[in-house]
């Protein structure tokens, strides 16, 4: 005996309009990226024909960008800075968030409020004291110092502390106490019990941090003058001025710059969706 198949629900007008709106949004969002990719495959003569698809696709623009510019150096600099900053934020923000969520000590709430208050300070207001500090320490005169000068404003973030504290608050305190009774060290509880339970939050924070540092432009532009230490956004922006009307080269460089962003999102896509779901379920 088989169960009767459940009747299919007929789509109503509201559902159809919602799908139509989503489709339009997807097209509007993806069209600039598709245009950028197709333009990067056109020759210089074909750029001014205003055709959507290239008649004779070529990868010559990519070859010129990779061989005749310092694109690979800019790419490596941005990748190194974004990766180190992301690891630093994940560790230190999680550690501070866990401390504020699971320990009781005088001034805990005041410290948390002070950390949150820094979110109201525009980044542009901090650029001058950052630059003065970097200049006084003469960080940009050495290779490690130059990279540290770019990274240090983002090695720990107030938003990450807030995010991780909220997730650690949702963890059962009894679980933490049981581990303490069993004799596990506090750092062991943090790394072996607490951190695995907040993986969705870590994935979300990793994506936000990586993308924020990968796309950072103002601070690297100000603090670094040597061409070999330029990040990808700064190098690409200056290259756009040098390339002039060679839009194929500009689009090729821009297409290559998007690749790490797509890789990071594809790796952490499931975790960030789980993070959104868990955030909505927390009481």
SS3 218: helix
- What does the pLDDT read at residue 275? 57
Render pLDDT for 108-151 as a digit per residue (tens, 0 to 9). 889 999 998 988 888 888 888 888 888 888 777 778 888 888 99
pTM for the full predicted model: 0.80
Could you tell me if 182 and 196 are in contact, meaning their C-beta atoms sit under 8 angstroms apart? no
CB-side exposure of 189: number of CA atoms within 13 Å? 21
Could you tell me if 93 and 160 are in contact, meaning their C-beta atoms sit under 8 angstroms apart? yes
d(CA 93, CA 112): 12
Render pLDDT for 42-59 as a digit per residue (tens, 0 to 9). 887 777 777 778 878 888
């Amino acid at each position: 005996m088989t169960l009767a198949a459940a009747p299919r629900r007929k789509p109503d007008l509201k559902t159809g309009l919602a799908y139509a709106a989503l489709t339009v949004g997807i097209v509007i969002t993806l069209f600039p990226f598709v245009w950028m990719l197709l333009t990067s495959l056109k020759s210089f003569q074909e750029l001014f024909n205003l055709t959507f698809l290239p008649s004779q696709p070529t990868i010559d623009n990519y070859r010129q960008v990779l061989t005749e510019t310092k694109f690979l150096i800019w790419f490596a600099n941005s990748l190194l800075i974004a990766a180190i900053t992301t690891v630093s934020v994940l560790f230190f923000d999680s550690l501070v968030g866990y401390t504020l969520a699971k320990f009781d000590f005088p001034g805990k709430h005041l410290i948390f409020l002070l950390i949150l208050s820094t979110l109201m300070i525009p980044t542009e207001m901090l650029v001058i004291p950052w630059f003065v500090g970097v200049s006084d320490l003469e960080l940009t005169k050495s290779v490690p110092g130059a990279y540290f000068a770019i990274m240090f404003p983002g090695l720990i973030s107030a938003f990450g502390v807030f995010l991780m504290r909220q997730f650690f608050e949702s963890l059962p305190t009894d679980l933490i106490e049981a581990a303490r009774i069993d004799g596990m060290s506090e750092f062991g509880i943090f790394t072996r019990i607490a951190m695995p339970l907040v993986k969705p939050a870590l994935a979300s924070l990793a994506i936000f941090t990586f993308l924020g540092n990968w796309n950072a432009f103002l601070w690297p532009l100000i603090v670094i003058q040597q061409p070999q230490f330029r990040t990808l956004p700064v190098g690409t922006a200056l290259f756009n001025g040098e390339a002039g009307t060679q839009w194929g080269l500009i689009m090729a460089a821009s297409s290559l710059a998007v690749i790490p962003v797509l890789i990071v999102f594809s790796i952490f896509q499931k975790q960030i969706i789980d993070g959104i779901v868990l955030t909505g379920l927390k009481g």
